[in-house]
Amino acid sequence: QVQLVESGGGLVQAGGSLRLSCAASGRTYSSFTVAWFRQAPGAEREFVAAINWSGVNTNYADSMKGRFTISRDNTKNTVYLQIHSLKPEDTAVYYCAASFNPWVSRTKPVEYVYWGQGTQVTVSS
């Protein structure tokens, strides 16, 4: 089992930045592909970015490229999502998820086994 806990969300003004963290415990976290998803009210869960076990390979949803950066520190069992130039449409619950699959091209929620509880990001205009 892997337990994931997100943190770092909050209320920010448009144009601001946030760094979300996903801390893991349990099985060897460093062997997992980890992704961030987000879900706005009334919307489906949306892929944001993924990173492989070493941090060398990353994948971003096209709409997220440029403002979002995913990274990981396996010594701290933590994956990060840095978000710059926040927009009101970034308002959502952000979830991290882990998969045994080594491919960062996996972008569907069903392809990830372990999930955190989510952290709320609210961007005011």
Q: Please report, in tens digits, the pLDDT of each residue of the chain (125 residues total).
A: 789 999 999 999 999 999 999 999 876 666 789 999 999 999 999 999 999 989 999 999 999 999 999 999 989 999 999 999 999 999 999 999 999 888 889 999 999 999 999 999 999 99
Taking the C-alpha atoms of residue 115 and residue 9, their distance in angstroms, rounded to an integer, is 16
The gap between the terminal CA atoms of the chain, to the nearest Å, is 40
User: 37 near 59, Cβ under 8 Å?
Assistant: no
Residue type, 17: S
Could you give the CA distance from residue 73 to residue 20 in angstroms, rounded to a whole number? 13
